[in-house]
Structure 1
Amino acid sequence: MTTKFRKKPVEIEAVQLRWSTWKEVCEFVGPNVINQMNPGYYIEAVEASDTCDETGPDYLAINVTTTHGETAVVRHGDWIIPDSKPDTFYPCKPDIFEQTYEAISGGQSTAAGS
């Protein structure tokens, strides 16, 4: 016989990688993640998860380390979510983020809350 379970609600902080939030992204992930050894870099529109209605021709990408020690690419439009260990994060595609999370009061208005 199987038992049913419900996922506990969890509140997270996240920031979407885009030109207009670059300063916020840098502050959010910190200097241990984005630095001279691991700077942000440019990608083309076809590589972006979402252009976020920002004009190109170039868009942003960064590398983050996950809690398992793997490198994950966060592409323009992806949401950056902290993982369980300090200085670890994982990317979340915009459509999955919108299906999974909703904005809560006191937070900045997001695509997920719109």
Structure 2
Amino acid sequence: MQKYRKLPVEIEAVHLNSDTTPAKVAYWCGGRVAPHPEQNYTGGDLVIEIDTLEGTMRAEPGDWIIKGVKGEFYPCRDDIFRATYEQVEAEEAP
């Protein structure tokens, strides 16, 4: 068995939280806004359903939606996102 490290790849991502508009995020990732399937869920009442190669996945409030290196979209839990990615400083336009 051998060990491997992820290559340093920049991705685009959006945090699905109270600062984001679900409809705009769904449009960006080609997903659909849907009501949260759990009644009385206190984290937020909307989710975004995203069709992926693995089937339909659901981004819940607090999750991140990632645009991968091949243009694919998928949800990621906040704790996994923060353990895997760091923010890249924005480059200034000339």
Normalising to structure 2: TM-score of the pair?
0.72
| Residue 3 (structure 1) shift | 4.6
Which aligned runs of 4 or more in structure 1 are off by greater than 6 angstroms?
none
1:1-114 paired onto structure 2 within 5 Å: 2-22=1-21, 24-29=24-29, 33-34=30-31, 38=32, 40-43=33-36, 44-45=41-42, 51=43, 58-66=44-52, 68=53, 70-83=55-68, 86=71, 88-106=72-90
Alignment identity in percent? 38
Distance 1:99-1:63 versus aligned 2 partners, 3 A rule:
same
- Three-state SS of the structure 2 residue aligned to 1:14 is strand
What do residues 69-109 of structure 1 show as CA deviations (whole Å, max 9, x unaligned)?
A: 510011011100124555x41110000001000111118xx
Q: How many angstroms apart in 1 are the aligned matches of 2:5 and 2:70?
A: 24
Gaps of 5+ in 2: none
| Residue 17 (structure 1) shift | 1.2
Normalising to structure 1: TM-score of the pair?
0.61
Cα RMSD (Å): 2.5
Q: How many angstroms apart in 2 are the aligned matches of 1:77 and 1:63?
A: 14
Which has a greater percent of strand?
Answer: 2
Gaps of 5+ in 1: 46-50, 52-57, 108-114
What do residues 42-68 of structure 1 show as CA deviations (whole Å, max 9, x unaligned)?
A: 3322xxxxx4xxxxxx432010011x1
Which has a greater percent of helix?
Answer: 1
| Residue 16 (structure 1) shift | 1.0
